[in-house]
Structure 1
């Protein structure tokens, strides 16, 4: 374990070393099959406003057009204090739209998340392509409030709306060789200004072990706070894995690939000594450049202290058994 000297600089203000160096170099060179009974009705409403939203004057889209119909509120996180909608939608990591925390909210305003299709391929019975409208028919939508922990040391509590990834896996019909799932995000140089910069190896890719993907906590989110997923938060669909650091949550997914071997993900390529495949929230394993033992809750106030980070982000009871016998210092 590498212990990093503490600093007064907020972790959220730290740019990863590999991103800083790549940006500096660039500047230098430049001089389950079962449908819910309400699914058919909700799908048309869910995506009807996309064209209106993308063409509307900034800030003028009707709130009613963005509302998600027919989702069930669950008991997940019901006692948690939510992070404000404003903070959730204006303080983001989404490098396709910029590396600054406020850049995605600004640079993603004209992004068009509809029409949208996702290709399913690899170790499956048959390669398929499915529209976002058909995806949300796979299971009833539900709201789950999850604690979310960023590797940089900040955290939020977000009311996601989505469905279990396990339902999509069942529909995809993976074969017995499928041990992992790789998620590939859109990399559109026209709509995503960050993709034009060589800060990461585009497109952004992430992955899960099959049992992690099938865990009941793992969510495919299409909304938050009862509204359709904002562009800057990964519209139209993103992965949410609450016991892992936030970078595992692939956004604006266009491809899901089932593989026999562990995929080499984007941050593993960018910084293999800093970012591992598992990325489980673990306060005992320090990031080489900052502590992971505590976190700053976004929106808690200027004078609010840091809070102690919990193992698996507090979800040990639900996920700890998957890692029994695994050295989580080696497989970080």
Structure 2
């Protein structure tokens, strides 16, 4: 796609309107599958559209933690729950809200395994009780150039990490998402290698900002936002925050992650928000805050590490243009 620029160097098309390479390279195959009726959700009637919280707005009490609250205006619930990337339910931003009602968030278990002294499998109730729930208001920026501000509910992933006691061999943490074609119609698309896998270095996973997330806006996670459990890593691009997690593995080697497998030249393992490293097909210097979509609204300048500058110590001595 030809990207036009104005005299100020700002991309005229919204980055979120530019089709990811993995999508456009598989577009013909995807369309052919739809025509054959293999992606049932594409033919679902409008009555199946779900734009509300998938679990009937079940409340999830949590105490606000002032140490993890940005002062930006939160994104509206409607925008945060109807404009999403969750390719297991389709590649369009509205697909998750329309089709994620097929996801069954209970019963649910998460297996913790690999290089740990105490491997275990925890159900959702055990996860909810593992540590006191906190409300944290985080910015989240997408690699496509849009951002949101969301009040998440959960606790530092470090709480779970301490419980399972990683061995000295645990250098990385791998997150594996659910991959069930009966519940996730998008899995019939070859856009990514399934199941969706993401990963962090062990010190990144242990950072207090890394949130094991079980809710948002005072309620349980909606299906389209990664129910019933996901992580949120606010200084990295949004695709690093794995959704609908069923397995957490502690491993010696850097995990092979979904987008890095699909397009390694575009999606590096670290994926820190860095305005100085452009995506090969668009600039990362600015961003569009969802809800600020007036024609006259200026884009925001992207902040290094999405504004979470205290994580810089994790990358001392690293070339963040090379390790992007």
Same fold per superposition (TM over 0.5): yes
CA-to-aligned-CA distance 1:40-72 (integer Å, 9 cap, x gap): xxxxxxxxxxxxxxxx99679899851112x11
Could you tell me how far apart the structure 2 residues matched to 1:61 and 1:300 are? 23
1:24 equivalent to 2:16? Answer: no
CA distance 1:61–1:248, shift in 2 (3 Å): closer
Matches within 5 A, 1:1-332: 6=5, 7-28=11-32, 66-69=58-61, 71-75=62-66, 76-303=68-295, 304-316=297-309, 318-332=310-324
CA contact (8 A) 2:60 2:219 kept: yes
Could you tell me how far apart the structure 1 residues matched to 2:227 and 2:51 are? 17
TM-score of the pair, normalised by structure 1: 0.87
- Unaligned 5+ segments in structure 1 are 32-55
TM-score of the pair, normalised by structure 2: 0.89
Q: Secondary structure at the match of 1:74?
A: strand
CA distance 1:232–1:61, shift in 2 (3 Å): closer
Q: Secondary structure at the match of 1:136?
A: helix
**Aligned-residue CA RMSD (Å):** 2.1
Q: Secondary structure at the match of 1:108?
A: helix
Q: Secondary structure at the match of 1:109?
A: helix
Could you tell me how far apart the structure 1 residues matched to 2:53 and 2:118 are? 40
Q: Report the more deviating stretch, 97-106 or 5-14.
A: 5-14
- Unaligned 5+ segments in structure 2 are 6-10, 37-47
CA distance 1:269–1:57, shift in 2 (3 Å): closer
CA distance 1:59–1:176, shift in 2 (3 Å): closer
